Amino acid sequence: MKKIGILYISTGRYTVFWKDFFSSAEQLFLAEDDYEKHYFVFTDAENIENESIERVHKIYQEPLSWPYITLDRFTIFQKARPAIDRMDYLYFFNGNMLFVDNVGKEILPTLSHPLVFAKHPGFYNKDRSQFTYEIDLRSSAGVSDEEGQFYFMGGLNGGIASAYLGMIEHLEAQVELDKKNGLIAVWHDESHLNRYAIDHADLIKVIDPIYGYPEGWSLPFAPKIIIRDKTKHGGHDFLRNEKVSFLKRIRKFLRW
């Protein structure tokens, strides 16, 4: 039986999404008997739903200020080793994702394409000139005007465990190099993922935005996984337990 490792970061108030994510993944994600799903939940919560289940592995993760909770994602994943080394496949899902339809073997990588990246729903039909790559070439995530075919979302990626672990080790090193040089890529982990995809295009199995469909959007295809609207659950700052400055509140009120 193949083991699927699911990497899931849930700090602060993001735990509000965990129960529904878990139940939907159990029901709709690789539900065939051929697969055993293990959930690696990086959280500061004292207790989470279903933590008594043997396949749910809780790993302590302190809340990090923005943008480090995303930028340092690859370092966070390393906390679960060597347990994730024993998985056959690894997938990362954003904390506010929810399965709404069956996701089967079509999402699995292959030996020739051992990594799986999803097209970003905001750019799936856009011209290359509109992609929001990191343009500062001093950054290890920098992309020149002549590069890039797709723009991938940061909230869902996966692959054969050995290939995926190699990727996160490389990206962790690239992020740390940028930090030493006083740089932070424009879209943090997503920027570094897109640089990696350009450099390793022959390894990437490309999947469509049906696996990352923002709630409330109207796109010309039916979703299999939705990205839940954070504003319905207090918004980014509330979910991260961050205080919002008076000026920021005024700007939101005025819709600046």
Q: Cα–Cα distances in Å, from 122 out to 42, 87, 93, 107, 147?
A: 27, 32, 17, 20, 19
**Tell me, what's the pLDDT at 248?**
46
DSSP class of residue 252? H
- The pTM of this model reads 0.90
The hierarchical CATH code for the domain 2-254 is 3.90.550.10
State the sign of the Cα–Cα–Cα–Cα dihedral 167, 168, 172, 178.
positive
Check 146, 190, 215, 242 and give the catalytic one.
190
Q: Is 190 a catalytic residue?
A: yes
Tallying the residues shown for the chain, one arrives at 256
Quick one: what percent of the chain has pLDDT higher than 70?
Answer: 90
Q: What is the mean pLDDT of the chain?
A: 92
Give the confidence band of 56 by pLDDT, cuts at 50, 70, 90.
Answer: very high
Q: Calculate ∠ Cα 63-66-69, nearest 5°.
A: 50
Calculate mean pLDDT across residues 185-194. 98
Q: Where are the domains of the chain?
A: 2-254
DSSP class of residue 254? H
Q: How many CB atoms lie within 10 A of CB 82?
A: 6
Largest CA-CA distance found in the chain, in angstroms, rounded: 55
